Structure 1
Amino acid sequence: MTFEELKKNKPTIQWIEDDEDGEFFTEENISATNVVLDSYINNLEKLGAKPTEAEIMKVVKEVVVRINELNDKYDYFIETMEREDLYEFIDTAAKIAGLESEEDITEEWREW
């Protein structure tokens, strides 16, 4: 998978499909989440070809903190499934950037 493929397959696409009644997600919280996820990918891409683990983890921390803020702002819309989807997205992007880790790279800062 590449960064471009990941950008086209954000978890928010599935969230909208699964939320047929529009009970959980709004255009506003989905749009805000997409902005944060796109920014995360862009920031990883800016690191270049051989970023250090510390550089990648700094970007991971930034996206987790921003998602914490979104979750708080939009009445805690991130539940178990969304948490798993977001983790998978964040972890996959970090691995594309070159991170080698088998641990939960979001756990230290995650509030969702």
Structure 2
Amino acid sequence: MTLQDLFNEKPTQLWNKRMVEYGDDLFTEERLLMCDKVLDNYLNQLILLQETKHPESIMKAVEEIVITFNELNGKNDYFIETMEREELAKFIDKAARLAGLEIEEDQDITEEWREW
């Protein structure tokens, strides 16, 4: 698995499926597009950082995506609930590890900044 593979495994795919198949009204096309843009930016940042595997730079990217999702969530009726939080945190963590971040298995790297 590479960081490039994660472009096809974003949590927004699951969210879109729940919106379309189950009528989940937490999501709208606009929210999903905004989230995709943020996730793509995060992955692109990590792709640039994976050469150096510099932990501080990777954690700065994690901080930025978490804070951005805090803002998106607050401005969009708090659409990140328990399931979405778990999916999003897992995705952020997986990408950071693929970029070279070495942390303990059960460590939540989003918790320090996360409001969702």
TM-score for both structures, normalised by structure 2? 0.92
**Alignment partner, residue 69 of structure 2:** 67
Q: Unaligned 5+ residue runs, structure 1?
A: none
TM-score for both structures, normalised by structure 1? 0.95
**Alignment partner, residue 18 of structure 2:** 18
Among all aligned residue pairs of Structure 1 and Structure 2, give the percentage whose two residues are the same amino acid.
53
Residues 18 and 24, structure 2, Cα contact 8 Å, conserved in 1: no
Q: Unaligned 5+ residue runs, structure 2?
A: none
- CA distance in 1: counterparts of 2:66 and 2:103, whole angstroms: 17
Specify the code of the residue in structure 1 equivalent to 2:70.
N
- CA distance in 2: counterparts of 1:107 and 1:22, whole angstroms: 26
Partner residue of 2:46 out of 44, 47, 52: 44
**Alignment partner, residue 87 of structure 1:** 89
- 1:101: how far off? 1.0
**Alignment partner, residue 56 of structure 2:** 54
**Residues 69-88 of structure 1: per-residue CA shift (max 9 Å, x gap):** 11011110000000000011
Specify the code of the residue in structure 1 equivalent to 2:68.
R
- CA distance in 2: counterparts of 1:13 and 1:48, whole angstroms: 24
The alignment covers a number of residue pairs equal to 112
Structure 1 ranges of 4+ moved more than 3 A: none
Specify the code of the residue in structure 1 equivalent to 2:90.
E
**Of 15-24 and 86-95, the range deviating more from structure 2:** 15-24
- 1:51: how far off? 2.4
